[in-house]
Amino acid sequence: MIAKQSQLKTILLVAERDGQRCAGPVLIAGIAVGVGVIQLSTGTLKESSPLSLQMLSLLVLELMGPLLVSVLGMALLLPRWIDRVASTGHRAWRRSVPGAALIGIVLMLMFFSASLLAGILITPRSELGIELFALLAKTSFVELLRSLLRSAGFLAALCAWCQWRADGPLRQGHRKTYIVSNLLMEGLMMGIGLKLIWFLVTKILPMNELIR
C-alpha cells in the first residue's frame, strides 16, 4: 500500500513538472487557433458569431485539438523522456506514461479553454458572458470527454513509443540529440497515424455497418 502511494505521488510530481513545461506553449497555441478560426469564419466566410464559435468548438474537440496537443507535448517533453530512459532504463515508462496521460487531459482542457476565450474576445459582439454560457450550453459533455481521453491516450502512446525506441540507441552509445531528432519525426508520423486510426474506427466503420 505504501509502495503504491509512493508510486502515485511520483507520477503526480512527474506530471506536475512536465505540465509546467508545456502549459505556456499550449495556451499560446490555443489562443492562436481561436483567433485564427474566428477571423477566418467571421471575416472571410462572413458567418455569424454564434455559428463561428460553434465551428471553433467543433474543430478543437473533433479535428485538431487532441492531435495538436499530443504532438506539441511530445516535442516539448521528448528530451525529458529520453533522460529518464538513460537514468532508469526500460522501467522509465512506469512514471512517464501515466504522467503523460494526466498531462494530456490537463493540456487539452487548457487548449480548449484558451481557444474558446480567445475566439469569444474577438467576435464582433461584445456580450462576453452571454456568448460564453451559450457556447458552453451547446457543447456536448460526451464530445469533450472523448476529446480529453483521446488527448490522454495519444500523448501516453507517444511517450511509450519514444521511450521504447530510445532504449536501444542509448545502449548503443548514440547521442541524445541524434535520438531526439529521429524520434521527433517518428512521433509526428505516429500521432497522425493514431488520428487516422481513431477516425476509421469511430467514423468509417460505423458508416459501413449502416450501409450493410
Q: Which residue has the higher pLDDT, 212 or 32?
A: 32
Residue 106 confidence (pLDDT) above 70: yes
pLDDT digits (tens, 9 = 90+) for 180-211: 989 999 999 999 998 888 888 776 656 555 45
Q: What is the mean pLDDT of the chain?
A: 85
Helix, strand or coil, per DSSP, at residue 115: helix
pLDDT at residue 82, as a whole number: 93
Cα–Cα dist 184/52, whole Å: 34
Overall pTM > 0.85: yes
Cα–Cα dist 140/138, whole Å: 6
Buried b (16+ CB within 10 A) or exposed e, 159-177: bebbbebbbebbeeeeebe
DSSP-assigned letter for residue 123: S
Cα–Cα dist 132/120, whole Å: 7
Please report which confidence band the pLDDT of residue 160 belongs to, taking 50, 70 and 90 as the band edges: very high
Q: Which residues contact 155 (CB under 8 A, 6 or more apart)?
A: 69, 70, 73, 74, 100, 101, 103, 104, 107
